Amino acid sequence: MFDVIVSGAGPAGATAALVLARGGARVLLLDRATFPRDTFCGDTLNPGAVATLTRLGIEERLEPYALPIDGMIVSGERGVSVRGEYGRGVTGRAILRRDLDMAIVTAAGEAGARVEQGVLVRAPLVDTSGSSPRVRGVVIQGRDGGDVRIPAPLVIGADGRRSRLAHAFGLLRHPKRPRRWAVGAYFEDVAGLSRMGEMHVRRGCYIGVAPVPSGLTNVCIVTDDRRRLRDPQRLLEDVIRGDWLLAGRFRGASMVTPPVSTGPLAADCARPGVRGLLLAGDAAGFIDPMTGDGIHFAIRGGELAARAILSGATGAADLYEQLDRMRRRAFRAKWRFNRTLRRLVAVPSAVEAASIAASFAPGLLHRAIAYAGDVPAARAS
């Protein structure tokens, strides 16, 4: 019998399993993939995420696979480009998600969590005998294709923004506006790279550029023009070729992986669980990645879900309410900040006004870069 089943072994689920196992809980960590696995991501950790991983004893495992990131370069429409360094020894990391995920999953297993890979969680195991439904485990796909029930008093759903567990209770939805899709690929021989991440905000899209280990460059374009997704390679090539800042730098570069697309990106969560079920990571809501702190939300959210269970401050039935309060205290200000930016880039005139403002008052953008990177939290840790 397990105390907690965690569905999803990405950064949120693996972190939750790690913290729970270290706290003495009997944990089963399930994922449909087999690790190491590749997944679509911007491949960067902001300073807040690095500080959290350091506190959890994970960051040193990443050193052989990571590059330091000293800050962000942000550019706008009117030739404005601002370089914002995190400063005072604070850095982020560029790391392939396959290496990040593998490091946390391995740490969770070493802490005592039972890790089962290649397992599809089909649905929550729901007890409807009481006054309100309660989750009491999960239903997985067995080797013969049939349903297998695995009971547990508590379940953490960290199975992504298409979470089967969250959707079973109608907790996740995609907002009508703004709706954006992402297309990304790896390039080699990109010129002008440095120890800085890059975000280039343009009319109708924004472009993330990040150097990653092995001499590759992660390029991700986020757009609200769904029609252009029919040919993702052409979308990437056209946007880069027509960009005032990137065209020259990519003239000698080549795309070395097929482009991957996903979306719609943003997902809103009504509340982070129900009786017997807590949500973490993208399953608890996803904000599209223009600030680059999505992995920090995931790691910290997984930790909070585990802390809620280990605290024992309330009955198990009310844990999702406790988690909701914890998440609001930890994330409320950043949620507002990210949603404001999300709305801003959806309005061309606002993007132009922001570019003009940045040219006259670059200090404002410097402070925004530091806040987006969770630099204050990293310095306080």
- Indicate whether 82 belongs to any domain: no
Do 198 and 243 belong to one domain?
Answer: yes
Whether residue 332 sits in one domain with residue 192: no
CA dist 359 to 77, 338, 350, Å? 11, 22, 14
User: What tokens were used for 96?
Assistant: 């392939």
Q: Are residues 243 and 205 in the same domain?
A: yes
CA dihedral 30, 39, 339, 71 (to 10 degrees): 120
| 110 found inside a domain | yes
Quick one: 211 and 311 in the same domain? no
The answer on 270 and 258 residing in a single domain is no
**Which CATH number goes with the domain that contains 250?**
3.30.9.100
Residue 58 in domain: no
Helix (H) or strand (E) holding 16: helix 11-22
Tell whether 288 and 205 lie within a shared domain. no
pLDDT tens readout for residues 139-152: 999 988 899 999 99
Same domain, 187 and 324: no
Contact present, 185 and 236 (Cβ < 8 Å): yes
How far apart (Å, rounded) are the C-alpha atoms in residues 224 and 346?
8
Give the per-residue pLDDT at 348. Answer: 56
Do 199 and 331 have their domain in common?
A: no
CATH value at residue 146: 3.50.50.60
**Same-domain pairing of 207 and 168:** no
* Residue 224 lies in domain: 181-262
| CA distance readout (Å), 279 to 128, 213, 271, 276 | 20, 32, 8, 10
Q: How far is CA 374 from CA 12, 20, 127, 195, 337, in A?
A: 18, 25, 40, 18, 12
Determine the Cα–Cα distance for residues 327 and 97; give it in Å rounded to an integer: 24
Structure tokens at 290: 């223009």
Domain count, the chain: 2
pLDDT of residue 291: 61
| pLDDT tens track for 233-270 | 999 999 999 999 999 999 999 999 999 998 888 788 88
- Residue 222: helix, strand or coil by DSSP? strand
Could you tell me if 27 and 113 are in contact, meaning their C-beta atoms sit under 8 angstroms apart? yes
The share of the chain scoring above pLDDT 90, in percent, equals 61
Instruction: Express each pLDDT in 18-73 by its tens digit.
Output: 999 999 999 999 999 999 999 888 899 999 999 999 999 999 999 999 999 999 88
For residues 144 and 190, state if they share a domain.
Answer: no
Range of weakest confidence among 92-101, 136-145, 319-328, 357-366: 357-366
Any residues with CB less than 8 A from the CB of 346 and at least 6 apart, and which?
177, 178, 224
In angstroms, what CA-CA distances link 209 with 199, 220, 319, 353? Answer: 7, 7, 39, 23
User: Does residue 196 share a domain with residue 328?
Assistant: no
Residues 6, 287, 226, 8: what is their CA dihedral angle, to the nearest 10 degrees? -10
The strand pair at 216-223 and 205-212 is best described as antiparallel
pLDDT in tens, 185-215: 999 999 999 999 998 988 888 899 999 998 9
Asked if residue 337 and residue 200 are part of one domain, the reply reads no
